[in-house]
Chains A and B, each alone.
Chain A
Amino acid sequence: MDLLSRKATCNSHGQDSSYFLGWEEYEKNPHDVVKNPHGIIQMGLAENQLCFDLLESWLIQNPDAASFKRDGQSIFRELALFQDYHGLSSFKKALADFMSEYRQTRVSFDSNNLVLTAGATSANETLMFCLANPGDAFLLPTPYYPGFDRDLKWRTGVEIVPIKCTSSNGFHITKLALEEAYEQAKKLNLNVKGVLITNPSNPLGTTTTQTELNILFEFISKNKNIHLVSDEIYSGTAFSSSEFISVMEILKTNQLENTDVFKRVHIVYSLSKDLGLPGFRVGAIYSNDKDVISAATKMSSFGLVSSQTQYLLSSLLSDKKFTKNYLRENQRRLKNRQRMLVTGLEAIGIGCLKSNAGLFCWVDMRHLLSSKTFEAEMDLWKKIVYEVKLNISPGSSCHCEEPGWFRVCFANMSEETLKLALKRLKKFVVNGILSRSCQVGESQSLKSSRKKTTTTVSNWVFRLSFHDRDAEER
């Protein structure tokens, strides 16, 4: 249809993927303890709902922040009119300090190097617009957050080339995988502009190791035109702050401040995960490159943070007593929750990748697949959504190389609901073991489609951005 743009008519927005389809199913039949106890439990949403009580009590004690007042004086008009894309300086200062706290003040952030954006969604897209031209590529370790297909590629025209990570070494980035991705990009005639990692990782729930960071820094030191973007939106969810190493820290410890690498490392941050405030749309880009800051600041006009929200959060985050306590409590509660899910899964013979961060676990259900194929993964996923009534995210939606892995969120529900989810899963697994003996015949027909599926999926990874992608490949 020539009436609309190609962007409007293609499906590069990626929203036909199973990640989003699972959401749709949940929306049709959402679990509610009272109103719909048999509905689908949402475990596909990486939200942090564990610490609202802390936020709510702070708000009650600090009425000025909520009601457009400063020292009892109304500043409503000031806030209502404030649309300066440099952002409220008190908010940026508080945010910079907050980011530093999560890194146990091993790094300090200069608020002048921060650009506020409408969520990390906008921050990631804006960075692509600033660092890459249409047709350039960014290398991303798989598995990765499904939303990246939309955020990094859709309107920017940038391509993603995967750095394939596998369970053989706990999905760590290896030098070999990185180089292979780079070569693959060259083969496809794509100009590589950078590497983008999520640290801590979504969907793995693990912090990037020192070894991996060394590999990445060695790579960008060698390749002078390549940027390193580290999406650190889960930094506050690391169960222990000492295990999280920010890319900004590496710059410091490796004394790279006066080298060209210094300006090629950028961070994306947000308050959606650490503070559990995704509705408020607070994202940020942090960069040591003045030109990036300048361009990104101008682009932030397309998605500024509401001044009402900036003011509220500047008060909240300036309260150091509150933030210290919050950080500690948040980490403790997340760790406990993760423990609950992991042990619950272990009890039914399901393992997880050992994780130390995040709002989810990377769950190993390979042994529940009828065959080692993505089609079998889809079958299993459909059963879990429609029969077990749990919305979890299949690894294929995260571009995982191997079928059978699922991302399961644990911080967006009450403890009771998590226990209920585990109970349902247990029933499914137990019944599955009993009925598997009756299903030998079925697996024969799957073998013939295995070959086709593998090719289709690997093509999918590359062809997502091409505008003529067929409906069948979904």
Chain B
Amino acid sequence: MSLDKNLLSKLAVGDKHGEDSPYFDGWKAYDNNPFHPEHNPQGVIQMGLAENQLCSDLIKEWIKANPQASICTAEGIDGFSDIAVFQDYHGLKQFRQAIAAFMEKARGGRVRFEEERVVMSGGATGANETLMFCLADRDDAFLVPTPYYAAFDRDLSWRTGVRIIPVECNSSNNFQVTKQALESAYLNAQETGIKIKGLILANPSNPLGTSLDRETLQTLMDFINDKQIHLVCDEIYAATVFAEPRFISVAEMIQEMDHVNRDLIHIVYSLSKDMGLPGFRVGVVYSYNDSVVTCARRMSSFGLVSSQTQSFLAAMLSDQIFVDNFLKEVSKRVAKRHLIFTEGLKEMGVSCLTSNAGLFVLMDLRQMLKDQTFESEMSLWRIIINKVKINISPGSSFHCSEPGWFRVCFANMDEDTLQIALQRMKHFVLRHRENKKRKSFQENLKLSFSSMTYDEHVRTPTLMSPHSPLVRT
């Protein structure tokens, strides 16, 4: 630390970037001991990273078949100098058109996006921050339904000074956001003199893996319109929806609800999840408010998409056949993975929140907590990382109001690794269950001494020979 605390800015010396949180211990455990099927089969399996590795083969094939799409190959080199100097913050027209078209297809062609409203940003990370800079001043607030993506704390608040007001959702109704919860959060904020500028949420949700139904969307739109506050919909998981309800974008709702003030509606998009290209930093701000489009575009100077990447994607995403097939495959492959994983968990008696989208599930381990507290959640989490050797994300990192929920990603590894993870989980869950039974038996012992001999054989398999097949699973 600098000797003089005033040498650097408050932003630089503070911890509002959120990276000192204990949740990064999971990442550290993985970084120090990463799983590898050959080199390190006992290593930590990374299931805390919401990456889509399921469709890269499709993109690779396309690249091989289309060398002209790269400005660096012999076939595409003629475009090199024009692209290399292109830094216009409007972005390449073909790129904007291709992105708009892709976004339309990911919404089943039910909406139209205008390419003039497509504004670039440094990933969705940059898009979310930019929108905060455009819509709110320092100390203004945005409502965010819980549980929410952990990095929102950094992306929405860190440099902008905008406050996050959580809107609590709970498992009693599958964490759906209700009008009551919104009104209550809004009122509380008002009473403490906090100015709410808008509501931001991810649809489909991270970490829930669910997409909003029409009714909830109507509730949200009416709510923000009534208060005349902004609605920012982070739709970066749009193409990962694989089951009903089908994905309904806020863009579709606008078409139906034309009494809602369009100047309040903004969409964040990215190719990081749907296409599995987080390294390419393609974020999009799409706003129905002209002033926001202008402002966000000026701010995009701080995070433009590399023209090399724009040019490549313009070519790939203009290929209708490729896009149609890709979107179909994404949904199919995510569905398959989801099924394998949830069925595998079901077999060991572990349930998940019912989900229809996303690259993860929200696993319900409430039964495994010593008591229904976040301390217990953290203890359980540490065991899963250090003993079971799986990095998953505890619900508290997503500001979940109830302990015992864990987000587990399933699309960032191959199927074999997923099976190994399931095996480890199974072993752990069964052991845990046995230990629990034994513990409760030992407590009952005090009450019922006479039935001990018989019960011992039935309820305490751990007292069996260590070579028992039951113990091994």
- Chain A residues close to B by CB (< 8 Å): 1, 3-9, 13, 15, 47, 49, 52, 55-56, 59-60, 63, 65-68, 74, 76-77, 79-83, 118-119, 121-122, 125, 129-134, 136, 150-151, 155, 193, 224-225, 260, 263-264, 272, 276-281, 289, 291-292, 295, 298-299, 301-309, 312, 412
Contact = CB atoms under 8 A, between A and B. Distances in A.
Given A83-B278, A276-B85, A280-B306, A4 B1 contact: no
A314 to B, nearest CB: 13
A276 B84 contact: yes
Given A280-B308, A303-B126, A132 B70 contact: no
B135 A8 contact: yes
Interface in B40-71: 51, 53, 56, 59-60, 63, 67, 70-71
26 contacts: A3-B230, A7-B295, A8-B133, A13-B295, A67-B73, A80-B56, A80-B277, A80-B279, A81-B53, A82-B279, A125-B302, A129-B159, A132-B9, A133-B10, A264-B7, A280-B307, A281-B87, A281-B305, A301-B155, A302-B302, A303-B281, A304-B281, A305-B306, A306-B279, A306-B280, A307-B279
A119 B11 contact: no
Instruction: Report, nearest first, the 9 A-B pairs whose CB atoms are least far apart.
Output: A66-B72, A279-B307, A307-B279, A303-B303, A306-B306, A295-B12, A303-B122, A8-B295, A82-B279
A278 B83 CA distance: 9
B134 A4 contact: yes
B60 A74 contact: yes
Given A8-B134, A276-B85, 11 more contacts: A4-B135, A4-B289, A52-B81, A60-B74, A83-B272, A155-B133, A225-B6, A276-B84, A291-B12, A292-B8, A312-B308
Contacts of A15: 298
Contacts of B134: 4-5, 7-8
A204 B83 CA distance: 28
A134 B9 CA distance: 9
Interface size class on chain B is 35 or more
B438 interface: no
Nearest to A316: B72
A270 B264 CA distance: 37
Nearest to B77: A56
A231 to B, nearest CB: 16
Contacts of B125: 301-302
Contacts of A63: 73-74
B51 A81 contact: yes
A357 B194 CA distance: 52
Contacts of B264: 3
Contacts of A134: 138
A67 B66 CA distance: 10
A292 B230 CA distance: 35
A279 B305 CA distance: 8
B367 interface: no
B302 A121 contact: yes
A303 B230 CA distance: 25
B72 A312 contact: yes
A76 B159 contact: no
Given A67-B70, A81-B276, A49 B137 contact: no
Nearest to B282: A306
A118 B304 contact: yes
B85 A279 contact: yes
